[in-house]
Chain A
Amino acid sequence: MEIKTPEQEIQRFRARVVVAGLFVLCGFGLILARYAYLQVVRYDYYSTRAEDNRISLLPVAPNRGLIVDRNGVVLARNYSAYTLEITPSKVQNLEDTIDQLADIIEIQPRDRRRFRKLLDESKNFESLPIRSRLSDEEVARFVARRYRFPGVDIKARLFRQYPLGEVAAHAVGYIGRINQREMVEINDDEELAANYRGTEHIGKTGLEQSYEKELHGTSGFEQVEVDASGRAIRALARTAPVPGNDLQLTLDIGLQRVAEQAFGERRGSLVAIEPSTGGVLAFVSTPRFDPNLFVDGISTENWDALNNSPDHPMINRAMNGAYPPGSTFKPFMALAALETGKRAATTAFHDPGFFVFGNNTFRDDKVGGHGMVDMVKSIVVSCDTYYYTLANEMGIDLISDFMGKLGFGSRTGIDISGESIGVLPSQAWKKRRFKTPAQQKWYAGETISIGIGQGYNAYTPLQLAHATATLANGGVMFKPHIVKYVVDARTGQRRVIEPTPVADLGFKPENLEVIRKGLIGVNLYGTGARAFAGAKYTSGGKTGTAQVFSLRGAKYIEHQVHARLRDHALYIAYAPAEKPTIALAVLVENGGFGATAAAPIARQVMDYYLAGIKPAGAVQDDAAAETEGTGD
């Protein structure tokens, strides 16, 4: 490097300063370009991002609709209470936190178990209740120590409550926390997902499930400004939620209670229908359960108790239990004979007390037979032989065609989902049901016992009541329904669930008259006479006793048979016989004779409904039930 004079040095330095200056300008130019790009070109994008940061839409869950009976008695309602909730994702050590909470607020082992269960089912960022229904004092105690519990909070929530507890539990159903499967379903539908963002519970069974759409309402939204930690700073705007619609039922809770109490400890079902509309007046399945247990996640011991009980209280026998109808099938068989012209009402023959078909002897329950029997008498005395021969003459195809039209073997369409279809035996059914050709073949001998409601026959009490109601209504069939009105919670406007005539089966009045005579005869001087002695109204009925266990010809002696293998007692009836306003079917599992086990239940129900007679010793204390609480 050559030596330079000071002037040259300064000259060179000046050049370097100019370069440095240009460098600075270039650098700042680059910066300016970048800021101009962000702030002018991309302004809209970043402005939206900033708004997205700042504004959060919080869902406001709507109040769930109420459920009341036809007279306005509340069956499902909401109440507000404080719950202690933990957001697991914000808590370091769950066990420690719960232990510390237990020092200031009572937390039972079952609360912990229920929390564990909820934790298993939930996503981590949800806040889950550890204790519900805190007292004011507990709230105050926690609030004073809140700083020690990050991720734990007290929330005011609306709870579902079923003030009558077990009454009509199978019809009303219950709600529970939305599980993951339901969450997936909800998220599949964008609109639904938006509407359920703030919702934690959903109808699981009964009307709570089938009318979920009406009861839920429309979620509202609150626009809030939030800071980086997600804390709401202030509310910007609010769209109020639209509360769910209320349901007013066709059920008469008074009647329901009478029916439920009439069963006592026995297992069974009763369905009562208003024939002219299809409105369900009573919908009983016993034993019952307390739907309040399910609302906030049922505890393991309660669940085990319900689930492991040999009485299966969770099964909705009214629509999911399928039973052979026994002799209650006979009036329908008789009508089938008349309508198909296979046998006239006046045709009478001598009943020897048995019917021989091939190598098999089919016995009547009366040894020696009923003597001369015509159609009316066959119903009144429940003559088996009459129907063995009738079934044999008609053949399975005619029988299954006719019974199918009456709704046997298909869903009635009641407004609770999950109804069973039962078994309407037919050649086609047997083909579907069995695998080998030998099994699939229908044997003529199998038709014989179909005639007395045995064999493959299996129907739900609902189907039986439905067919009885159709019979009572002269062949005009209505779809059974439990909800009468959907009531707009804000305007009080009622939307009527119109009775839907499904079909007019076109039965000839003279044929119906024969059946009616027979049914009236049953309750006047036949198998139902003792149960209906002294009734203030005329009724038609038919008893039934269905074999649970085939004795292969041996004599059935009730006290020698195991309680669970005893016959089911059945009874169908309508009244007043002239113009029926109620039709029902009763089933008492392993109850023995229909006349002694099932018919008296029907008598109590009809007495209450038609004559306003309350059975002796019955509890009719709505007020007491209201304060029982949730049974939690």
Chain B
Amino acid sequence: MINLSDLRGFALRFLRPLDPFLLAVALAIVAVATLMLESASPERLEAHLFNLAIALAVMWFMAVQPPQRLHSFALPLYVVGLVLLICVAMFGDISKGARRWLNLGFMRIQPSELMKIAMPLMLAWYFQKREGMLKVRDFLVAAVLLALPATLILKQPDLGTTLLVLSSGLFVIFFAGLSWKLIVPVGIIGVAGIVAIVSFESQICAPGVEWPGLHEYQKHRVCTLLDPASDPLGKGFHTIQSTIAVGSGGMLGKGWREGTQTHLDFLPERHTDFILAVISEEFGLAGVIIILILYCLLIGRGLMIALNAATLFGRLLAGAISMIFFTYAFVNMGMVAGMLPVVGVPLPMVSYGGTALVTLCLGIGILMSVQQHRRRK
């Protein structure tokens, strides 16, 4: 006979590791995701709920792991990830012009996805190891550790994942205390570079001009972003149609399931990368603001957790994971609004897709774990 207090006790024990604030925000976001999927692609709802169940289980599982365990997994995970990436480069499967998949015989895996978590873990692990005796050399080592997988992923080619892996690593390095003397000039050069690309668009996008280190299709993506009208039926179609969907939503949108761009098939990838266009079209600017608020809450909470972490490893990991959410959200939202090239980055926890959802919930689970083992004052 189970009495009520037993049940409550069990529930408490089950829920204790889950940070209530983070859980509430995460559930609010997946609620939005479910609502929008119901509009964009109702036939995928069942699969989505299944993915969600797995993702939440993974989140809970990570939340109950002490950070020390993650710490011990960091190096092996990174090494395995790197080896797999090399294997992909040597004998991976080619699909849609890119070599991203590794066929293990019984299943196909995409090792670059693993790197999204392994990368910040590895760097946080490294800086933890060097705690108290950090030298410039350590940043160089970190840069190499970051550059290796990033280069391999870029060669696949997969610009979106490269961007995410790179940024997750860079955030660790940033939080670890990279000198402003380095950050500021690089930042300025980056901004200057973007301004230059935009202003010299017609010259650099001229046919026949080759971009060092980038593939023709990547050049094409950037160029169509700069001038979508140059290819209205090809790559530009995504950007044009998604911008129309966003703009035509207005302040309050056309109403749930009333989006014409969405429901008449003008909007490509409406349940995955362009789900925000559906939100924008059907709920207008109001919907976009709600999404932005939810992400601010999520990231804000994550950064607070980082501040309170007990160890350097925890701080760096929590800080980087929080910022990964920002990178995802920023790139995706910029892409949907025609500010950034179409690089295939999902809207975190809203876009349909099991892998990304699981990866992100895993990240939230880590945040919860760090919070659970925070520094006691």
Question: Chain A interface (Cβ within 8 Å of chain B)?
Answer: 1, 3-4, 9, 12-14, 16-17, 20-21, 23-25, 27-28, 30-32, 34-36, 38-40, 42-43, 45-47, 49-51, 53-54, 225-229, 233
9 nearest A-B residue pairs (beta carbon)? A46-B247, A50-B248, A228-B265, A227-B264, A38-B247, A39-B285, A46-B248, A47-B248, A54-B260
Smallest beta-carbon distance A207→chain B, Å: 45
Smallest beta-carbon distance B375→chain A, Å: 9
A50 and B245 form a contact (CB under 8 A): yes
A36 interface neighbour in B285, B300, B315, Cβ under 8 Å? B285
A1 and B247 form a contact (CB under 8 A): no
B246 and A46 form a contact (CB under 8 A): yes
Interface: B64 (CB within 8 A): no
A16 and B175 form a contact (CB under 8 A): yes
Instruction: Report 11 cross-chain contacts, Cβ distance below 8 Å, ordered by A residue.
Output: A13-B307, A17-B307, A20-B319, A31-B333, A39-B247, A46-B246, A49-B248, A50-B260, A225-B260, A227-B264, A228-B264
The answer to whether residues A40 and B285 also contact, given A31-B333, A50-B244 and a CB cut-off of 8 A, is: yes
Q: Which of B43-60 contact A (CB under 8 A)?
A: none
Of listed B241, B247, B312, B333, residue having the most chain A CB within 10 A:
B247
Q: Which residue of B lies closest to A31 (CB)?
A: B333
B334: chain A residues within 8 A (beta carbon):
31, 34
Q: Which residue of B lies closest to A49 (CB)?
A: B244
Q: Which of B1-9, B75-83, B95-103, B132-140 is near enough to bind chain A?
A: B132-140
Q: Which residue of A lies closest to B249 (CB)?
A: A39
> With A and B bound together, what is the CA distance between A28 and B339 in angstroms?
13
What is the number of contacts between chain A and chain B, taking CB atoms within 8 Å? 133
A17 interface neighbour in B175, B179, B289, Cβ under 8 Å? B175
B303 and A21 form a contact (CB under 8 A): yes
B333: chain A residues within 8 A (beta carbon):
31, 35
Q: Which residue of A lies closest to B288 (CB)?
A: A35
Smallest beta-carbon distance B172→chain A, Å: 11
B306 and A17 form a contact (CB under 8 A): yes
A28: chain B residues within 8 A (beta carbon):
292, 295-296, 326, 329-330
B244: chain A residues within 8 A (beta carbon):
46, 49-50, 53
A54 and B264 form a contact (CB under 8 A): yes
The answer to whether residues A31 and B243 also contact, given A13-B315, A39-B250, A50-B260 and a CB cut-off of 8 A, is: no
The answer to whether residues A53 and B260 also contact, given A17-B307, A31-B337 and a CB cut-off of 8 A, is: yes
0/1 per residue, B110-145, Cβ < 8 Å to A?
000000000000000000000111111000000000
Q: Which of B207-251 contact A (CB under 8 A)?
A: 241, 243-251
B261 and A50 form a contact (CB under 8 A): yes
A225 interface neighbour in B133, B264, B288, B300, Cβ under 8 Å? B264
B312 and A9 form a contact (CB under 8 A): yes
Q: Which of B298-354 contact A (CB under 8 A)?
A: 299-300, 303, 306-307, 312, 315, 319, 322-323, 326, 329-330, 333-334, 337, 339
Smallest beta-carbon distance B250→chain A, Å: 5
A43 and B264 form a contact (CB under 8 A): no
A31 interface neighbour in B299, B322, B323, B330, Cβ under 8 Å? B330
> With A and B bound together, what is the CA distance between A20 and B319 in angstroms?
9
> With A and B bound together, what is the CA distance between A484 and B250 in angstroms?
60
> With A and B bound together, what is the CA distance between A311 and B176 in angstroms?
100
Interface: B149 (CB within 8 A): no
0/1 per residue, B257-285, Cβ < 8 Å to A?
00011001110000000000000100011
B261: chain A residues within 8 A (beta carbon):
50, 53
> With A and B bound together, what is the CA distance between A454 and B323 in angstroms?
104
B326 and A27 form a contact (CB under 8 A): yes
Interface: B256 (CB within 8 A): no
> With A and B bound together, what is the CA distance between A45 and B246 in angstroms?
11
Smallest beta-carbon distance B226→chain A, Å: 15
The answer to whether residues A1 and B134 also contact, given A27-B326, A49-B244 and a CB cut-off of 8 A, is: yes
A12: chain B residues within 8 A (beta carbon):
177
> With A and B bound together, what is the CA distance between A20 and B135 in angstroms?
23
A53 and B266 form a contact (CB under 8 A): yes
Smallest beta-carbon distance A477→chain B, Å: 63
> With A and B bound together, what is the CA distance between A51 and B264 in angstroms?
11
> With A and B bound together, what is the CA distance between A531 and B260 in angstroms?
80
The answer to whether residues A3 and B133 also contact, given A38-B246, A49-B244, A50-B245 and a CB cut-off of 8 A, is: yes
> With A and B bound together, what is the CA distance between A1 and B181 in angstroms?
13
Q: Which residue of B lies closest to A16 (CB)?
A: B175
Smallest beta-carbon distance A461→chain B, Å: 59
B319 and A24 form a contact (CB under 8 A): no
A31: chain B residues within 8 A (beta carbon):
292, 330, 333-334, 337, 339
A3 and B264 form a contact (CB under 8 A): no
Q: Which residue of B lies closest to A226 (CB)?
A: B264
A32 and B292 form a contact (CB under 8 A): yes
B339 and A34 form a contact (CB under 8 A): yes
Q: Which residue of A lies closest to B178 (CB)?
A: A16
Smallest beta-carbon distance A443→chain B, Å: 73
A233 and B264 form a contact (CB under 8 A): yes
> With A and B bound together, what is the CA distance between A30 and B329 in angstroms?
12
A14: chain B residues within 8 A (beta carbon):
307
A50: chain B residues within 8 A (beta carbon):
244-245, 247-248, 260-261, 266
Smallest beta-carbon distance B187→chain A, Å: 10
The answer to whether residues A39 and B288 also contact, given A9-B312, A53-B264 and a CB cut-off of 8 A, is: yes
B299 interface neighbour in A24, A54, A227, Cβ under 8 Å? A24
Q: Which residue of A lies closest to B267 (CB)?
A: A228
B300: chain A residues within 8 A (beta carbon):
21
> With A and B bound together, what is the CA distance between A408 and B243 in angstroms?
71
B315: chain A residues within 8 A (beta carbon):
13
> With A and B bound together, what is the CA distance between A256 and B171 in angstroms?
96
Q: Which residue of B lies closest to A48 (CB)?
A: B248
> With A and B bound together, what is the CA distance between A596 and B275 in angstroms?
91
Known: A13-B175, A13-B177, A46-B246. 18 other contacts (CB 8 A): A3-B133, A9-B312, A16-B174, A17-B175, A17-B303, A28-B295, A32-B292, A34-B339, A35-B288, A35-B337, A39-B280, A42-B247, A43-B248, A50-B247, A53-B266, A225-B260, A228-B266, A229-B265
> With A and B bound together, what is the CA distance between A27 and B339 in angstroms?
12
The answer to whether residues A20 and B288 also contact, given A45-B247, A53-B266 and a CB cut-off of 8 A, is: no
> With A and B bound together, what is the CA distance between A94 and B135 in angstroms?
71
> With A and B bound together, what is the CA distance between A228 and B131 in angstroms?
57
A23: chain B residues within 8 A (beta carbon):
326
A226: chain B residues within 8 A (beta carbon):
264
A39: chain B residues within 8 A (beta carbon):
246-247, 249-251, 280, 284-285, 288
A32: chain B residues within 8 A (beta carbon):
288-289, 292
Smallest beta-carbon distance B350→chain A, Å: 14
A46: chain B residues within 8 A (beta carbon):
243-244, 246-248
Smallest beta-carbon distance B276→chain A, Å: 9
A3 interface neighbour in B132, B289, B292, B337, Cβ under 8 Å? B132
Smallest beta-carbon distance A36→chain B, Å: 6
> With A and B bound together, what is the CA distance between A225 and B296 in angstroms?
39
The answer to whether residues A17 and B319 also contact, given A53-B260, A53-B266, A227-B264 and a CB cut-off of 8 A, is: yes
B306: chain A residues within 8 A (beta carbon):
13, 17
Q: Which residue of B lies closest to A12 (CB)?
A: B177
B265 and A227 form a contact (CB under 8 A): yes
A1 and B135 form a contact (CB under 8 A): yes
Q: Which residue of A lies closest to B247 (CB)?
A: A46
B136 and A1 form a contact (CB under 8 A): yes
Smallest beta-carbon distance A476→chain B, Å: 67
> With A and B bound together, what is the CA distance between A38 and B334 in angstroms?
12
> With A and B bound together, what is the CA distance between A9 and B311 in angstroms?
11
B241: chain A residues within 8 A (beta carbon):
53
Smallest beta-carbon distance B247→chain A, Å: 2
A43: chain B residues within 8 A (beta carbon):
247-248, 250-251
Smallest beta-carbon distance A159→chain B, Å: 34
> With A and B bound together, what is the CA distance between A225 and B315 in angstroms?
55
Q: Which of B69-87 contact A (CB under 8 A)?
A: none
Q: Which residue of B lies closest to A41 (CB)?
A: B247
B264 and A16 form a contact (CB under 8 A): no
Q: Which residue of B lies closest to A17 (CB)?
A: B303
